[in-house]
A and B are shown apart, each in its own frame.
Chain A
Amino acid sequence: MKVETWFGTLEISPEGKVLESVLFSKAPLELAERSFTLSEEKTFLPPPGFDFRKASLECGFFESGAEYDSILHELTLRKAKLQVSKALSLDQRIIQAVEALDDINETTNTLSERLFEWYGNHFPETGLTGEALAGFVVKYGNRANVDPEDPFYEKASTSIGAELPMEDEVLIKAFAESLFSLYARRGQLEAYIRESMETRAPNLTMLAGPMLGARLLSIAGGLPQLAKFPSSTVQVIGANKALFKHLRERAPSPKHGIIFSHPLINTSPWWQRGKIARALSAKLSLAARMDLYSGEKSPVLLEKLDAKVGQIRALHPNPPAKKPDSGSGKSPGKRSGKGSGKVSDAKGHVQRSGKGHNKGPGIENEKEPEKRPENGNSMKGRGR
């Protein structure tokens, strides 16, 4: 029978004797390349118990077991290195970017609070915070430098703040510069994520917005993984604590994980949120699958989602009449939505992009209604 091993092709008898052998070169790179093909093909596997290391020594291909081991070591190392260097996908790059963005959001929040307190000693009347304040301090430093043309001139000249010594001004200005450049990096990252998500996952981006979409990718570990999740998982991604509490103890199930940051959910009244979260996550997982397998943008998804959400809203315009045991239903999901700084930041971005998204469906509806049946069918086909 024919057997493929990393060092050559063997013809062996049923007892495991080598009858014939075609051996390859001992060059690690060539061996590694061949090993890739063998891993793909998975044919002519050595039968269990066949010691091809011993066989290779018997047919004289290697002088010693040590030589066998040493060349195999070179091969596996070379192959693994090639695999590692090829492993960086667009998904991985998006994930790094969105995690960097979360880090920056956290850092800028901390630093901007510090700047607010610090500069407030000197000029509390600005009423500025965050990026605007950082920009102001970078521009002027001491309030005495405020330009007479500037709307802040009046406030600056009558400020009750303490004097700002030269050496403090140098410090605080440099601090504000660092913060300001972090805000610039944030814009850069957001642009990168928006663009990459549009390429990688157009449908997911259409439904969730680029930031929420990228965060879903990040937690799933990539688009292939996200596409494999059932939509019930997508619904509670990011609500780990509440979910496991629910599974282990008698806590209520979470209604939403990070998808809480989606405007369809967080702008809806509490009694609709769970229902909308289910509808949304169903469409999100469909979107992820379409992105993975076809890559074509299909506005039908958005139409259907909007129709479904409209239906939910129409059916449940009022809170349930029974005295709602809402604390139980509401708190775990909500806690998970607001639990970490990362998620509440997500809210801000998605809301912004969400405004565009809400306008979207109307326009697209008019444009391409005829696409609906075609896409519906192809989706079913993929489902199988």
Chain B
Amino acid sequence: MSEPTLEFEDLKLAYMVRGTAREVLRGVSFAIQAGEAYGLVGESGCGKSTAAYAAIRSLPRNARVLSGAVRLAGRDVLSLKKNELRDLRANTVSMVYQDPSQALNPTIRVGPQLIESFTVMGVDKHEALKRSTAILHKVQIADPDVVMDRFPHQLSGGMQQRVVIAMALACDPKLLILDEPTTGLDVTVEAEVLDLIRNIRTEYGTSVLFISHNLSVVRSICDKVGVLYAGKLVEEGSAQNVFEHAVHPYTIGLLKCLPTHGLRKDAQRLSTIPGFLPSLGADLPTCVFVERCSFADETCTTEVPLWRSLGTSSVRCHHAEKVAGSPAENEIAGVSVEINRKIKPILELVNVSKSFHQGGQSFKAVQDVSLSLYAGETLGLVGESGSGKTTLAHTLLGLHAADAGGKILCDGKELLPGRRRRTLEQIRAIQIVFQNPDSALNRRRSVRKIITRTLRHLARVTPEEIESRLRSVIAAVRLTEGHLDMRPGQLSGGLKQRVAIARAYAGQPRVMVCDEPTSSLDVSVQAAILNLLADIQRESNTSYLFISHDLRVVRYLSDRIAVLYLGRIMEVGPAERVFDGPHHPYTEALLSAVTSTTGSTTSRIKLEGEIPSSMSPPSGCVFHTRCPRRLEGDICSTVEPPLMATPDGGVMRCHIPFEKLGGRV
């Protein structure tokens, strides 16, 4: 076999924090062969990005290589001279990272930034310009000249990422490093960027190092996968093998946390991984996973597990055979709850609109939305960014006032538009859990203070009862008394989100809005939070308005789903029907974008063009500009389809008759 494109040889790397070395990579070895795509997966803090940056020696100043080597195209990266390193970067390796808007220089036009990637290799200006145009065509940018004349901020996120990828391809690299290249992009855009990466691989035969926390994305791109935990590889093998027949307890745990295969809250609770990731530089003399492993025994705490091959995978575990052979753990079944939709809904929105003014123009972020929410029910709200999901939620909460003309009813009584004009009782009825608990919790206050203030002020709990109510709230979110006197900064992300849920739940609201409550969390933590939300709902019959960009998460928790596009309802219906069809063409495209990342080979439904601005929404059906099933003639572009009732009690906004809409085959 020829020499590998990239090879890590027992790399140990530490960050110096106030004089002490904190080990991040604890001896990482792997190799990427020519033309191979290698995925490095793991939760945040496992060292995967550090590994990526070590491969091109772009490390922070406090990083120290303790031992080991990195070879790129046969050269020892860590001992190259400065000009040799520059040469290597210019000709052999390229990198694309997470946020494309940060990766491009905001003050320079796209053209010169791209041309520079060619001139650095000694190509003359004229030739560089020609090649730049050609490479933009390659990354499927239709009008390169226009794009090259733009500044980065004038391009959409997907376009920016294409430009960054074009820059990376300029030198026809032997190795392309992709560090979370689609995180933060909408599903439809993510799917396009992934398509592009696949095309590039077949066309250029470039080796790829792909870093991601998103397992399904890695699976859809990579040939081989390495699972990193606390700075050590714990399992490696072909992508198919690792994802379908994982043998390391950590890999198995990670995979089981995901609400995949149409899993729903009433069918099954999600698995979680107990415990915490060891902190940076923690002393881990034997197996790095031992503290959280349900298979661990005495051998695991005394002997270092060796890297050994097991069938087609390699693994670092004493009990891999036993783990692989053991039957699936007893999955805890969920409990299904009957929702009575015959009585009046808890919450009703009738023709709610919200417009904003910007630069003298006014535009509708939410237009004529009518929805209802019943006791104990979860209504999922999905749509790409800019679809008005969060605006709708904030309008409902009264954080900003709805436009005149619509109505919000809670328990049959009309709520006035802004929160200032609502009674305390009305405010208390609708609460919210925000995406980022760091932002949602006052960092100067203890957990106790955060919750008691809500109990006393909002829930009007008497001083005598405070203590007992506090305890029951804490218990409901599975926190302990020990957490009460901590500040948010002393808690982990998952625990913080529990505190945020406790705050929202303390006033016993009728409706809880959950705005992407798990998207800043790792998958294992996400599973625990989703379980918690399902438990709380079952116990208290609280209704949820659940917003998420992750369709699998929405499906797990929701009873009904509403799909928004440009602030308008496209369809509302029972979760199973919306997912399995017949569904709106937009929903179909969203779902298809997700399946393409889970590795299935069905051809993806592509959405043409970019999301139009809500400043100037398209005429007729707002979705017609991107609709793959636009009808012949001009009905779609001239007449806005009315919301039609569907047989299952939902609504649909499409000119295509309900029976003829697509569904999952």
Q: Do A and B come from one complex?
A: no
- Residues of A with Cβ closer than 8 Å to B? none
